[in-house]
Amino acid sequence: MARKKSATEAPALRASRKRDLSPDPYDIPEENETPKRRKRSEATVAVAADGSDGDENGTIEASNPTIQLTPAKRRGRPPKSATAGTPKAQATTPKRRAQKPLAETPIRLNGTDTPSRRNIADRSARRKSARALIDRVIGGEVSDDEVEGGDIAREIYESSEEEDEEVQEEVAVGEGEGEEEEDAQEPETPSKTPGRKRRTTTRKRSPTPPRDLPPHEQYFYQNKPGLARTSNNTLSSLNLLTHDEYFTIIRQLKDPHAANVTSLESFHAESFPQWAFELSQGFSTCFYGYGSKRRLLHNFATYLASQDPPTQKIVIINGYVRTLTQRDIISTLASALPSSSSSSSSSAPRPTTLQSLLTTLSSLSPPTITLTILINSIDAPPLRRPALQSLLTHLASHPAIHLACTADTPDFPFLWDAAQRASFNLLFHDCTTFATPAPCELDVVDEVHELLGRKARRVGGKEGVAFVLRSLPENARALFRLLVGEVLVAAEEGQGGGGQPGGGGGGDEEMAVDYRMVYNKAVEEFICSSEMAFRTLLKEFHDHQIITSHKDSIGTELLSLPFRREELESILEELTT
Amino acid sequence: MADNERNDASFEEEDHRVAFIFNAPNQTLDSPQASKLSGDAHPAKRRKTTKAEQQETEQADSSRLSAAGTGTTFPVLFNGAESLEAARLRRELFERSWPVLEGRIQRVLREANTNTLDEVSSFLQQAAETETDKLTAGFIITGPNIASQDLLFEQLAERLRTAAQARFVRLRAAEAPNLKAVLKKIIRDATARTADEEEGVDVDVMTQGGRKYLDYDLEVLHVFLKNQKQQQHQRRVVVAFQDSEAFESGLLTDLTALFHSWRDRIRFDLLFGVATSVELFQARLLKSTARQLYGAQFDVVQAHSVLETVIRTAVAGTQATVRVGPALLRSLVERQQDQVAGVQMFVSSLQYAYMCHFYANPLSVLLTDAAVLQRREGGGVLQPEHIQAVRTLDSFQAEVEAAVEARQLGHAQSLLEDDDYLVARIREQGQKRREYVLQLLRSLHLVVSSGLSSASFTDLYTLALSSGIAISQASGTVPLEDAIKRVEPDEFLALTTRLLSAIHTGSPDLGLDGWAAAAEDVVLSLTDLRDEVEGLIERSKSNNSTGGPNKPRPTLKSKYSAQSRILRTTVVAQKVQLSHDSATLTDEDKAYTAAIDTLYALLHETIHCAPAITDAEHNLFLHEAWFIDTTSTSSSSSASLFRDIFVPRPGATFARALARPHDYLGCACCGRKKRKGRGDRASGPGLGTVLGTSPATAVLHQLLLETGALVNVADLWTAYSALVAKQGQSGEDGEDEDEDEDEGRKRELLVGFYRGLAELRVMGFVKGSKKKVDHVAKVKWL
């Protein structure tokens, strides 16, 4: 290699190489110059570099010999490592590099081994991308669209690189030595170098992303392959919260922003007359923004009620209640209507379908009554079903029905298509409240545990159960007590199996009891007299998700309670006292 | 937190119920209301972009009064100084002006579909008479907007029920997931009785002879129709697929086959609403299915022409008491086009503009009758505040300045100082407004009916409002000069006739009556001109005929017409001679030229209109009382008000709340280090001002922004606890805490962490990931 010649060429080459690196929009342009990075790459290469690249130019070629870190390879390529050490020697004229790869790479690759079909395909894609990369280096100018194409090319090049690594090594080993081979290898080395380099950089770059990226760019940046590296830390050392602990702490916790939240809410409250006016003009209103708007809506209801009580009925629908059904909504609405004694059919049953509800509403002879429907969390999962949304659409389009709703997620506009949107006739108001969602709206502990893949438990632990049971008749409570007792006994017996408390799913399933057995006991204790009654009671529990049932392999129905042992014990304690 | 818990207890029982009837508690409202009464407007709200400033402050100040006072009136403006009467008057004015317009709009919308309705019903009628073994199918090309289909199908249902005595079933793809569900719905809707029909058949239909039919058995329908002891064609059932593209093609095929097989018992007619084209739709059906159909295609009036009519009627028409300004109108029309929104959306926006105007603009009372516009002492509604407000208006300032410039110093001084004088001017304003609008509309109508301008009415209207109308070629906004001058004699006659009839009949769309009486001289001159040109044409014709065949001349022409400059080629003694033709204008031609000039001068005189508001000179006095525009008030706030009210940007809102909670909370703790460095404007969400003291969700959101697509929750927790704990400690105390306390603090942090994470999940920012233990995946990039 003519040192003299390359000395003049070197700067130009360097420049073009650098350009090759930088077009990646996410790369920090000066990354080659940052001392930290250099240190890193030098460290990886320390063995191969042999200390010979103490000079500035070394950085560019430095990571080239990373391959040679594996001792096996080293023996095959002594001359190469030498050249790598003196980078100037490698800096040839760009022209030569352009021609060689085009002519030689394919032959060589095909000649040395007989790759599988997939390998060939991969490689040809890779070859093309390599060519594209090299062309670009030589072409010098990098236009905008080239940047994108170049990235894809490099992406392809890199993705196949790893698989090909083995093969390449062999190729490298199998190659002869000397000047000519040196040249022949060129196409591989330089194009690989930036690729390699980049990969190490993306992997090791500081996790702080480049700032000021628009969201879509963020998305592509963060979904770059190879970037999703996270540590292997787990939460195992952390004692996860239980419902009890969560509620105990949160009760003591003082929200530093409580005053601000209140004033924000009162600011929204100032718009009540405006909203009422909008409703009266046949619009529906939708309040969106971060924070629970339940209190706001409640206050709005109070305001509305204070306005004109006689002709107005207000129905609040809680969209977040998981057991929500169409029937519930319709029957509540129907019961809100004054009993239609004046209308013809005396024995008319309560309307059960939407149509009958609407006709009842239209046929009300005394001067029209307005039915105001306020919906908490219209975008809550239980309400997201298309059937329910179309029900609401129909309701909203009735002139005597006013509808106001709150939306908690940023994606709520996707709930409706254009036709539904038109019949809702919605006006949107930004009602960011920053208010904490109430426990009924958001079961924090369960949400988090579900998110983490832990088994979630419904109905806010033992307090939820207590609350549910309080609203149920005496014999339901007795049945639940019986059930808890049986489950605990079963758990005691099955202790040998070793269901650890908090161990998740496995433990729960062992604590199941036979349906028949429970029924018999219930009959014995005069809790119920027939299977029908027994089923009815169980249904109630099911609705509140405080029991679960499943069939085992033989088909016996098993009942279990989705609580941990300690919780069960405290529930039992509470029930018996 | 603790407070909230306690307050929540009051309606705790209702929390877990799906739906309940709200009974107003007797005790007064709790904290928010109380603080509302005492508290001043919160600083945070000033930065909210979603509301027009004016409206915002006015409402804020007034809401307490309205809450306390009468329920049905508008809130009292002028910081509470407005009289209840004035507020009530504004409401009355609104109730008088909007419903009129709404009624007209509805009529326009319904009329737009009449043709289609007639065609469809007559087609079905015909099809009923012809005997064919195919199903009758009408393909109604509705265009891409499914929102506007509703009205059409509703009208169809009405029409066919009455005219064709048919059962009408409307199907939407969303309600028809599978064959069974569709059949159920068809049977249910077809057997549902209308109000006047007798009841009680239902039960015995469903259970004939002790057997009960399945509710998706078409036999039910058959029996039901048979029981309807009426004419034969009562057996028809029209099934309309509103958005037929959205139906699964397999389902359509099945249904068609089924209907076809029932043809001998129940007569099904199908209607398909097609958004694209019949060809595309047919391509989705099986050939065998398509062969079972016998159909015709119907076109619906396209949305933009409907919109144009609505604008003519409701925005430009004389009935509109409030003018929607050019910028706002343009933005509304653009939105219609950009978002393929239905006409209904436009109407709603218009309504909202009216609502805003009367609700929040105290000067809207000036739109009432002149009789009421007296000062309060004189029994009217005008208070000192009104007069004061008038004096702050831009248009008032312009008026005074114009008066000073015109050396009418007395007028200017009286305007400024003499309240009675000003009130008198205000009273005149109503008349002036009507005159202006009339002039505007007449000019517009003449331009449109002249047929010389190719611009759409909406464009012309916005142009007229923003920069006036003038037809001169060089400086005018609607350059018609060339077009008029180049007009051919025949066309000249037609043009004058069109203009005359326009003046005589006016425009029913615009609510414009003929104004021949008012513009007598114009009518006279136009008629004269027409007669004259008619005479000229006659004469030139006779000239031609007498002139002999050796002088073949074109008919009448003017010096402006293109032919006058034509090059003549004459072959004289085998040499070609070129000569200009300009010298050959006859006397008739010259007279015609003069006629054209007169016409242009006349039209130039007649068709003109000043812009409503542009600058100081063209600032109609008191236009603020009847003009809503985005430019007239504060620059962009009201445009964004309209945009956000109808098309919200929840993503941006949520991102902002989480990235810069201080914007909303306005708390002391989080606002310290806000707005520094570059990009402090509303910029990328990455540049939040989230500190450790911010709400947990905001902190987590911030951390989440900095992570990659996959997030290790353990690391997130470490980062969170470090960030928040640091803040908390530096804020609270410096004493070294012992282990227990430290642990307690950790658990508190964990509670916050849980809550933040749960909220983020519910809002759809993260979801669980199976890739690694304790990892979550990011799903939203806002």
String of b and e for A331-369 (b: at least 16 CB within 10 Å)?
A: bbbbebbeebeeeeeeeeeebeebebbbbbbeebeeeeb
Q: Tell whether A230 is covered by a domain.
A: no
Q: Does A223 touch chain B if contact means CB atoms closer than 8 Å?
A: yes
Inter-residue contact B436 to B428 (CB < 8 Å):
no
Q: Kindly state whether residue A240 falls inside one of the protein's structural domains.
A: no
Q: Which two tokens stand for residue B661?
A: 């909670």
Domain end: A172, A196, A222, which one? A222
Contact list in B for residue A222 (CB cut-off 8 A) is 707-709, 778, 781
- Please name the member of A223, A336, A437 whose beta carbon is closest to the beta carbon of B21: A336
Residues, chain A: 577
Instruction: Give domain status of residue A376, yes or no.
Output: yes
Residue B546 shares a structural domain with residue B664: no
> Would residue B93 count as lying in a domain?
no
Output the CA–CA distances (angstroms, integers) from residue B566 to B486, B561, B562, B572, B592, in the order listed: 14, 10, 7, 18, 18
Nearest to A238 among B62, B717, B762 (CB): B717
Is the pLDDT assigned to residue B69 strictly greater than 60? no
Range with top average pLDDT, B117-126, B208-217, B732-741? B117-126
Which candidate from B60, B666, B770 shows the least CB-CB separation from A260? B666
- The reply to whether A129 and A269 lie within a common domain is no
Of residues A337 and A56, more confidence is placed in A337
Of A110-124, A413-427, B483-497, the least confident: A110-124
Local confidence band at B10 (pLDDT 50, 70, 90 cut-offs): very low
- How does residue B333 score in pLDDT terms, banded at 50, 70 and 90? confident
Q: How many angstroms separate the Cα of B140 from the Cα of each of B112, B281, B309?
A: 14, 11, 21
- The CATH number of residue B211's host domain is 3.40.50.300
Q: A428 at the B interface (CB within 8 A)?
A: yes
Q: What pLDDT band is residue B195 in, cutting at 50, 70 and 90? A: very low
Nearest CA in chain A to B28: A302
Query: Does residue B633 share a domain with residue B695?
Result: no
Strand partners, B579: B568
Q: What is the pLDDT of residue A227?
A: 58
pLDDT score at A140? 54
Q: Which residues of B touch A409 (CB under 8 A)?
A: 650, 762-764
Q: Are residues A396 and A483 in the same domain?
A: no
The per-residue pLDDT for A104 is 43
Nearest residue in A to B62, CA atom:
A270
- CA angle (A325 as vertex; A324, A331 as ends), nearest 5: 110
Do A60 and A89 fall within a single domain? yes
B168 vs A493, more confident = B168
β-partners of residue B775 are B712
Residues B658 and B685 in one domain: yes
What's the CATH number where A542 sits? 1.10.10
Segment A145-162, tens digit of pLDDT: 444 444 555 555 555 444
| Phi and psi at residue A54, to the nearest 5° | -75, -15
pLDDT tier at A207, thresholds 50, 70, 90: low
- Per-residue pLDDT tens for B548-598? 554 445 566 666 765 545 566 677 777 776 665 555 667 777 788 888 888
Same domain? For B204 and B296 the reply is yes
Q: Return the minimum-mean-pLDDT range out of A309-313, B9-13, B378-382.
A: B9-13
Q: Kindly report, residue by residue over B144-159, the tens digit of the pLDDT.
A: 777 777 788 888 888 8
Same domain, B397 and B321: yes
Q: Which residues contact A281 (CB under 8 A, 6 or more apart)?
A: B351, B355
pLDDT tens digits along B361-387: 888 888 877 777 777 666 677 888 888
Determine whether the interchain pair A222/B352 forms a contact, defined as Cβ–Cβ distance below 8 Å. Answer: no
Looking at the structure, do residues A332 and A198 belong to the same domain, yes or no? Answer: no
Domain boundary among A430, A464, A499: A430
Residue B122 identity (one-letter amino acid): S
Residue A246 placed within a domain:
no
Does residue B10 sit at the A interface (CB-CB below 8 Å)?
Answer: no
Same domain, A459 and A536: yes
Same domain, A420 and A458: no
Q: Among all residues of chain A, which has the CA nearest to that of B662?
A: A260
Least confident span in A291-300, A348-357, B432-441: A348-357
Compute the distance between CA of residue B276 and CA of residue B245 in angstroms, rounded to an integer.
8
Instruction: Choose the mutation target among A283, A357, A432, A470 for the interface with B, i.e. most B CBs under 10 Å.
Output: A432
**Domain of B240, in residue numbers:** 125-300
pLDDT score recorded for residue A189:
43
What is the domain count for chain B?
4
B152 touches chain A (CB under 8 A): no
Answer yes or no: do B405 and B480 share one domain.
yes
- Domain endpoint, select from B300, B321, B336: B300
Q: Note whether A417 and A302 are same-domain residues.
A: yes
Chain A interface mutation, best of B7, B106, B335, B781, highest count of A Cβ atoms under 10 Å: B781
Q: Are A400 and A456 members of one domain?
A: no
- Chain B hits for A251, CB-CB cut-off 8 Å, are 1-2, 5
- A505 pLDDT above the threshold of 90: no
Task: Please answer yes or no on whether A423 and B150 come within 8 Å at the CB atom.
Answer: yes
Residue B228 lies in a domain: yes
A245 within domain boundaries: no
What would the mean pLDDT of A214-218 be, rounded to a whole number?
80
Residue A320 pLDDT > 70, yes or no?
Answer: yes
What is the average per-residue pLDDT within A366-395? 84
Looking up residue A380, the CATH number of its domain turns out to be 3.40.50.300
Least confident of A318-327, B212-221, B688-697: B688-697
pLDDT value, residue B12: 60
Using CB atoms, pick whichever of A274, A328, A413 lies closest to residue B18.
A328
The pLDDT, as a whole number, for residue A350 is 57
On whether residue B559 sits in a domain, the answer given is yes
Determine, yes or no, domain membership for B67: no
B330 contacts: CB under 8 Å, gap ≥ 6? B462
Instruction: Give a yes or no: residue B157 inside a domain.
Output: yes
Listed residues B278, B300, B322: the one ending a domain: B300
The verdict on A218 and A71 lying in the same domain is yes
Same domain, A401 and A456: no
3-class secondary structure, B253:
helix
CA B126 to chain centre: 39
User: Is residue B74 a part of any domain in this protein?
Assistant: no
- Residue of B14, B687, B720, B754 for testing the chain A interface, max A β-carbons within 10 Å: B754
Pick the more confident residue, A285 or B232: A285
Q: How confident is the model at residue A366 (pLDDT cuts 50, 70, 90)?
A: low
Q: How far is B32 from chain A (nearest CA, A)?
A: 5
CA–CA distance, B137 with B297 (Å, rounded to integer): 9
More confident of the two residues B35 and A431: A431
Asked whether residue B450 is assigned to any structural domain, the reply reads: yes
Q: Is the pLDDT of residue A260 over 70?
A: yes
Q: What's the whole-number mean pLDDT along residues A377-390? A: 86
Q: How many helices (H) and strands (E) does chain B have?
A: 32, 13
Are A194 and A85 contained in the same domain? Answer: yes
Domain that holds residue A287: 258-339+351-430
B355: nearest CB among A271, A277, A298: A277
| pLDDT number for residue A245 | 83
Confidence of residue A404 (pLDDT cuts 50, 70, 90): very high
Residue predicted with more confidence, B466 or A106: B466
Mean pLDDT of A36-49: 44
Pairing of strands B567-572, B575-580: antiparallel
- Confidence at B641, pLDDT banded by 50, 70, 90: low
CB pairs under 8 A between A and B: 370
- As to burial, measured by CB atoms within 10 angstroms (0-12 exposed, 13-18 middle, 19+ buried), residue B765 is buried
Q: How far is CA B305 from CA A566, B300, B331, B511, in A?
A: 71, 11, 17, 18
Contact A90, A172 (CB under 8 A): no
Confidence band of A351 (pLDDT split at 50, 70, 90): low
Chain B residues in contact with A436 by the CB 8 A cut-off are: 1, 4, 755
Band (A405; pLDDT cuts 50, 70, 90): very high
The pLDDT, as a whole number, for residue A102 is 41
Quick one: average pLDDT of A127-152? 59
Least confident of A302-311, B54-63, B454-463, B613-622: B54-63
Interface of B with A in 20-59 (CB under 8 A): 20-25, 29, 31-33, 35-36, 39, 41-42, 44-45, 48, 50, 59
The answer to whether residues B327 and B465 belong to one domain is yes
Verify that B239 and B218 share a domain, yes or no. yes
- pLDDT on residue B682: 39
pLDDT in tens, B486-521: 777 788 888 888 888 888 888 888 878 888 788 788
pLDDT of the residue at B198:
44
B468 and B319 both lie in a single domain? yes
Quick check: is B731 in a domain? yes
Across residues A308-317, what is the average pLDDT? 79
Please determine, for residue B168, whether its predicted confidence score (pLDDT) is greater than 60.
yes
> Quick check: ipTM above 0.85?
no
Same domain, B252 and B142: yes
Is the pLDDT at A340 greater than 70, yes or no? no
Q: Does residue A287 register a pLDDT over 90?
A: yes
Most confident of A32-46, A230-244, A343-357: A230-244
Q: Report, as an integer, the average pLDDT of A197-224.
A: 64
- In a domain, residue A242? The reply is no
CB contacts of A422 in chain B (<8 Å) are 147-148, 150, 342, 344-345
Chain A residues in contact with B782 (beta carbon < 8 A) = 215, 410
Q: Which of B10, B175, B746, B762 to mutate to test the interface with A (most CBs of A within 10 A)?
A: B762
Domain match, A365 and A452 both: no
Q: In chain B, what residues touch A395 (CB-CB under 8 Å)? A: none
A156 in any annotated domain? yes
Whether residues A425 and B348 touch (CB distance < 8 A) is answered with yes
Percentage of chain A lying above the pLDDT 70 cut = 55
Whether pLDDT at A11 is above 50: no
Residue A141 has pLDDT above 90, yes or no: no
Domain boundary among B300, B318, B336: B300
pLDDT one-digit tens code per residue, B437-452? 888 888 888 888 887 7
> For chain A, what is the domain count?
3
Q: Is residue A253 part of a domain?
A: no
Q: For chain B, give the percent of residues with pLDDT over 70.
A: 74
Verify that B548 and B592 share a domain, yes or no: yes
pLDDT digits (tens, 9 = 90+) for B675-685: 443 333 433 33
Residues B233 and B151 in one domain: yes
Last residue of a domain, one of A222, A246, A277: A222
B720: number of Cβ within 10 Å: 23
